[in-house]
Structure 1
Amino acid sequence: MARVRYGARTEREAAATRAASARLPEIWSTGVVAVWETDPDAVAAVLPPPLKPTGSPLARVNISTVDLPGYPLGAGSFAVAAAHGTVEGWYPLVMPMTHERALTGGREVFGEPKKLGEVTVERDGPDVRAVLSRHGIAFVEVRGTVAGELPLPEPSRKTDFYFKFLPAVDGSGFDTDPVLVHCVRHEKARRLERITGEVMLRESAYDPVADLPVLRLREITIGEKTSDQSGRVVERADAQALLPYIHQRYDDPLQILDAPPEGS
């Protein structure tokens, strides 16, 4: 009988897969990062317990093209500064990806809030434009002009916070206890430049990042970076406390019941 590829893999095949995963080369990305001060009440409102605001109400968008072997990937992240105990990091609200492969792995393994979307990074001489789009709406757009090179930063360690969970089969609560994940990235850069420009947040019912306005722009940069990542479950999350926030993960049709933005 011909090999049935949906059948069980042999131990030899499984071992080869593990060995190949352990030998991944450095993968470089070209990305635009913008950081700004936003409404502290809005930051507090989007953080599920036990996450809490830090001393600075910051929001950050990262819009990148990734040189994955075999196919390019567009990857984005919109996050707010958060703390879990003594650990400070970022809590991503939405992470648009241009390919399903990147989306499913991150969601299923780490609990990342990834969604299929369009991610664009364009550079024409000193002019830069980076965009996150979904449902035909460019809900984040960064525009600017490269204003000069920056000194390369030392390799850094950054933490993102994710909640990993499975909604219940009967539509009420979760099938198992949700967990809080710390995802640690070790990042290094081979090029970094400063951008003078602006961040535009557009209204979207499915990606309402406009609720975290740009009150004071801290910085915009464009750079070439590589990183690794590892995750670990740090604690069981309170299911009842997390439940009101799970719509963050999905394009929920019941969002039509949410109150419209003020002034609309």
Structure 2
Amino acid sequence: MTRVRYGARSAAEISAARAAGTKLPDIWSTGVVAVWESDPDAVAAVLPPPLVPAERPLVRAAVSRVQLPGYPLGAGSVAVSALHDGREGWYPLVMPMTHERALIGGREVFGEPKKLGDVTLERDGLVVRAALARHGIAFVEVRGAVAGPLPLPEPAEKLDFYFKFLPAVDGSGFDADPVLVHCVRHEKVRRLERLTGDVVLRESMYDPVADLPVRRVVELTIGEKTSDQKGTVAGRVSAREFLPYLHQRYDDPQQILDGPPAGSVR
């Protein structure tokens, strides 16, 4: 019989897939990073408990072109600084990806807030433009010029916070209390340059990062880096306390919080 591709995989096939996943080579990306000081109250307002504001109300936008084997990937994120259990890291609000494979893995394994979107990174000589866009709106754009090389930083550990959850089958709350994930990345940089320019935030009802205004640009760079990542569950969080922030993950909160529109077919 011809193999049925939806059929069960053998134990050997599952084992081989796992082994292949542990032997990935360094994957390098070219990326623009913009960090700015924002309004402290705005940054605090987007943090679900038990995350609390860090000492500085920082926002970071990253726009990258990743050299994945076989096809390039556009990847981006907008995150705010946060603290949990004495550890400082970043809480991403939205992570546009240009391919479904990168989106699904991050959302289902780590709870990353990934969504399909357009990611643009262009360099023409010294002129650089980077943007994150969804629904036809470039809600973050970085425009600048290369001002010169920067010293390469030592390999560093970076921490991101994610919330992983499943909405309840009956449409009320969650199947179980969400979990707070600590995702640790070990990052190496092989090229880094300073940019002079600005960060433009545009109004979008789907990605309202314009609510985190640019008070002062702290960092504007373009570089090449590689990193690995490992996630751990820091603990369960209160479903009641997290529910008011659930809308951050969806373009249309009615998908989760409300019933079907009146007159819809069941």
Q: TM bucket by the smaller chain?
A: over 0.9
Q: How does 1:170-189 map to 2 (within 5 A)?
A: 170-189=170-189
> Shift of residue 170 of structure 1?
1.6
> Shift of residue 91 of structure 1?
0.1
The answer to whether 1:120 aligns with 2:120 is yes
Distance across 1 between alignment mates of 2:204 and 2:228: 32
Distance across 1 between alignment mates of 2:27 and 2:204: 32
Distance across 1 between alignment mates of 2:253 and 2:190: 43
Distance across 2 between alignment mates of 1:111 and 1:235: 14
Instruction: Provide the secondary structure at the position in 1 that maps to 2:163.
Output: strand
Distance across 2 between alignment mates of 1:13 and 1:202: 47
Residue by residue, what CA displacement relative to the aligned partner does 1:29-67 show, whole Å, maximum 9, x if unpaired?
Answer: 000000000000001100000000011000000000000
> Shift of residue 253 of structure 1?
5.3
TM-score (norm 2): 0.95
The answer to whether 1:59 aligns with 2:59 is yes
Tell me the residue number matched to 1:81.
Answer: 81
Tell me the residue number matched to 2:14.
Answer: 14
Q: How does 1:86-97 map to 2 (within 5 A)?
A: 86-97=86-97
Letter in 2 for 1:160: D
Consecutive unaligned residues of structure 1, counting only runs of 5 or more, are: 256-264
Tell me the residue number matched to 2:151.
Answer: 151
Instruction: Provide the secondary structure at the position in 1 that maps to 2:9.
Output: coil
> Shift of residue 15 of structure 1?
1.0
Distance across 2 between alignment mates of 1:218 and 1:20: 40
> Shift of residue 188 of structure 1?
0.5
Tell me the residue number matched to 1:262.
Answer: none
Tell me the residue number matched to 2:109.
Answer: 109
> Shift of residue 252 of structure 1?
1.3
> Shift of residue 254 of structure 1?
4.8
Residue by residue, what CA displacement relative to the aligned partner does 1:180-222 show, whole Å, maximum 9, x if unpaired?
Answer: 0000000000000000000000000000000000001101000
Residue by residue, what CA displacement relative to the aligned partner does 1:100-128 show, whole Å, maximum 9, x if unpaired?
Answer: 00001000000000000000000000000
Instruction: Provide the secondary structure at the position in 2 that maps to 1:193.
Output: strand
Percent identical pairs in the alignment equals: 76
> Shift of residue 241 of structure 1?
0.2
Tell me the residue number matched to 1:207.
Answer: 207
Consecutive unaligned residues of structure 2, counting only runs of 5 or more, are: 256-266
Distance across 1 between alignment mates of 2:254 and 2:137: 19
Runs of 4+ residues deviating >3 angstroms? none
Instruction: Provide the secondary structure at the position in 2 that maps to 1:132.
Output: strand
Instruction: Provide the secondary structure at the position in 1 that maps to 2:2.
Output: coil
